[in-house]
């Protein structure tokens, strides 16, 4: 454990590392609580489409709105008046040279050591975990291997999407972080090593979200809740944006067959609420089916 933690003053001078909306949510809370960082380190501006101008990350947008310095290279912090680094969804491994600048803490959205890595919220949902949480942990050179200073456990609500769960965990984590920063060194004086089976939350890829209707309906519903779930329909991709499970109807139809607005799984059925055909816009499932099931034509998704 970094020996610099116990010596931190109350309300230490911080540098904030993060980029996406969930990190911006935490940054907003720090600012509102009078704990604004001296600078933020975030990803460089990117174009959202080919013709558009480069746009700053959500974290950079918040920082710019509050007059906080925005940096893209951690090396620019060298020689600055910083006492602590705060990391929230930064998306990059901090190099040893950066970790030597000052101690670092990270908000990680899982119950460590379960789901270390890039996609802990998504992996918890896909695995059907009943609960998850957020940890305030020390940053070390290994992947999410640092000791834990504080943890909050929450149940995963039925039907809760990854976006909803991530925002809820960010709120809890921001409160935890604010409490620790207000206290300073005493909040970091009793770190606890991670205990339990280690699992890794690899980045989510397209194949993780391809629905296999030969699997239980609950599995498909979890993929939809993560976001980006898809299947094939008539040779093209069909995104499933909203869906819920329904009970097994007791028939012997083949997996993937569409009956009304329900798709047969094994077991159970998945009721499609909103879909998006390839190259099209999101629409109610009934509208999408209207041109496909004329005259009782059989529709099968793959």
Q: Return the H-helix or E-strand segment holding 98.
A: helix 96-99
Instruction: Provide the percentage of residues in the chain whose pLDDT is more than 90.
Output: 85
**Separation of alpha carbons 201 and 124, rounded Å:** 8
Give pTM, 2 decimals: 0.93
Q: Could you tell me if 220 and 265 are in contact, meaning their C-beta atoms sit under 8 angstroms apart?
A: yes
Query: pLDDT tens for residues 134-177?
Result: 999 999 999 999 999 999 999 999 999 999 999 999 999 999 99
Mean pLDDT score of the chain: 94
Residue that has been written with the tokens 């999407």 in this structure: 161
pLDDT for the residue 49? 64
* pLDDT at residue 249 tops 90: no
Cα dihedral across residues 67, 88, 12, 42: positive or negative: negative
Q: Could you tell me if 85 and 78 are in contact, meaning their C-beta atoms sit under 8 angstroms apart?
A: no
Q: Where are the domains of the chain?
A: 14-201, 206-296
* pLDDT at residue 191 tops 70: yes
CATH of 206-296, one of 3.40.50.300, 3.10.25.10, 3.20.20.70, 2.30.110.10: 3.10.25.10
Strand partners, 55: 46
* pLDDT at residue 294 tops 70: no
Query: pLDDT tens for residues 72-95?
Result: 999 999 999 999 999 999 988 999
pLDDT for the residue 250? 74
**Class of residue 125 by CB neighbours under 10 A (exposed 0-12, middle 13-18, buried 19+):** buried
pLDDT for the residue 1? 62
Residue that has been written with the tokens 């925005």 in this structure: 70
CATH of 14-201, one of 3.40.50.170, 1.25.40.20, 3.30.70.1450, 3.40.50.970: 3.40.50.170
* pLDDT at residue 3 tops 80: no
* pLDDT at residue 297 tops 90: no
**Separation of alpha carbons 104 and 91, rounded Å:** 15
* pLDDT at residue 273 tops 70: yes
**Token pair of 169, please?**
């965990």
Q: Could you tell me if 173 and 26 are in contact, meaning their C-beta atoms sit under 8 angstroms apart?
A: yes
């Amino acid at each position: 454990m970094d020996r610099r933690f116990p010596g931190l003053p109350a309300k230490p001078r911080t540098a904030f590392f993060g980029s996406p909306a969930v990190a911006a949510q935490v940054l907003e809370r720090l600012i509102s609580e009078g704990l604004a960082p001296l600078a933020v380190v975030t990803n460089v501006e990117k174009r959202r489409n080919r013709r558009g101008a480069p746009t700053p990350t959500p974290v950079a947008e918040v920082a710019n709105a509050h007059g906080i310095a925005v940096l893209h290279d951690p090396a620019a912090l060298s020689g600055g008046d910083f006492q602590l680094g705060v990391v929230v969804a930064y998306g990059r491994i901090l190099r040893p040279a950066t970790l030597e600048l000052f101690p670092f803490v990270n908000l990680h959205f899982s119950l460590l050591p379960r789901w270390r890595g890039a996609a802990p919220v998504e992996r918890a949902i896909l695995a059907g975990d009943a609960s998850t949480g957020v940890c305030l942990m020390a940053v070390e050179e290994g992947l999410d291997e640092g000791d834990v200073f504080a943890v909050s456990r929450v149940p995963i609500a039925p039907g809760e999407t990854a976006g909803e769960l991530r925002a809820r965990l960010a709120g809890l984590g921001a409160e935890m972080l604010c409490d620790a920063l207000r206290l300073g060194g005493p909040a970091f004086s009793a770190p606890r090593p991670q205990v339990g089976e280690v699992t890794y939350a690899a980045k989510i890829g397209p194949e993780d979200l391809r629905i296999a209707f030969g699997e239980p309906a609950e599995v498909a519903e979890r993929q939809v809740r993560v976001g980006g779930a898809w299947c094939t329909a008539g040779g093209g991709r069909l995104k499933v944006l909203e869906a819920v499970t329904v009970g097994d109807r007791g028939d012997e139809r083949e997996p993937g067959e569409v009956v009304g607005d329900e798709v047969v799984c094994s077991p159970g059925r998945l009721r499609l609420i909103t879909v998006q055909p390839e190259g099209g816009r999101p629409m109610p499932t009934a509208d999408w089916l209207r041109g496909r099931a004329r005259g009782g034509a059989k529709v099968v998704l793959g």
